[in-house]
Amino acid sequence: MAIRKVTILEFLELSLLHPVLDVRSPGEYNHAHIPCAISLPLFNDEERKVVGTTYKQTSREAAIKIGLDYFGPKMRMMVEKVEEIILKSQTLSTENLQLTTKKTVLVHCWRGGMRSGAVAWLLDMYGFDVVLLVGGYKSFRNWVLKQFEIDYNFQLIGGYTGSGKTIVLQELKKQNQTVLDLEEIAQHKGSAFGGLDNKQQPSTEMFENLLSIELYILTQKNRQQLIWTEDESQRIGQVNLHPVLWQQLRNKPLLFIDIPFEERLNYLVKEYGEYDKGQLIKAIERIQKRLGGLETKTAINALQENDTKYCFEVLLKYYDKHYLKGLHNRSNFKEIVQKIELTNVAASNAEHLLTITNNHKNA
């Protein structure tokens, strides 16, 4: 049985059917990986460091010998681990009525070099059908960055903080519209309070990996598919949108949901008012430099005096000013931004947006 080598597009297609084994070190994997990949490290982080240092300071041959010392005792464990992975994937396939009896695994390392070659050799020798990614994870990253250069048919939903843009996106998805939820991928709601759920955010590189795969899936059948997404800052919590994609988003049509201040304030109080007071204060302190010393003190004092509504009122005025500035900073603001006046925060606002886009289509 021969090891089959494939390029990234075929590798991604096969990854929908078979397990992907990432044989890089745990540190490399934890920083970022192909979203569906399972970690099966040939070397741990310290072993990788020793092999790499030997390769640079002594010789390739010396590094390989040290690598073999590490690899030898792990061979049986790696084979048995892959057997477990295969068995689990076959069980899942059975549940989805897509039973496959082939023991196929996809393998990659950083550049498609010695690490993936060694593991592929072992698994092939044991009897697995092995597919190797040419160029390794590096080729995947090149593919990721190219996805951000594609001109997508985005339709942005904008609006001041508390306008319920996420609720609208969720309703659009229920109505079988194509939706890209950037905050869901980033595991953060965007504002200072966006991290109160304590979800662990991916690294920016991992965020890009997840985002590129999502875009690929959404547009696989139709490159001109209309994609609804929220008008976001370039930074979502601790992750950043890639500059090329960010610039593209800044130039796409934007439907601005204009909802009265009081309605949005009441929504935010209901959404965040029950969170722990200490968490809320820390969130306010994180934006202290931008908010200003006086407003920060005023907001925190209001919170400590249990006047949550006034605290949020101070913050909302800041966010409104900040968002309006970003909105007008678009060079073609008048051409791409359409304001829609609505009365309250509700999922039903999605109907208004659909009506407008359908009217544009038929015009």
Active site residues: 109
SS3 at position 208: helix
Burial 276-290 (b: 16+ CB within 10 A, else e): eeeebbebbeebeee
* Token pair for 158: 């904008």
Of residues 126, 127, 130, the one with CA closest to residue 112: 130
CA–CA dist 247, 138 (Å, integer)? 24
Of residues 21, 17, 2, 32, the one with CA closest to residue 106: 21
CA–CA dist 52, 49 (Å, integer)? 5
**φ, ψ for residue 58 (rounded to 5)?**
-115, -80
Those residues whose C-beta lies under 8 Å from the C-beta of residue 135, and which sit 6 or more positions away, are 7, 8, 111, 112, 142
Alpha carbon separation from 299 to 14, 311, 324, 337 (Å, rounded) = 53, 4, 21, 32
Q: Is 62 left (phi over 0), alpha (psi -120 to 50) or beta?
A: alpha
CA–CA dist 275, 281 (Å, integer)? 10
Those residues whose C-beta lies under 8 Å from the C-beta of residue 68, and which sit 6 or more positions away, are none
Of residues 175, 184, 265, 268, the one with CA closest to residue 230: 184
Q: Is 176 left (phi over 0), alpha (psi -120 to 50) or beta?
A: left
* Token pair for 11: 């590798």
* Token pair for 186: 């980033």
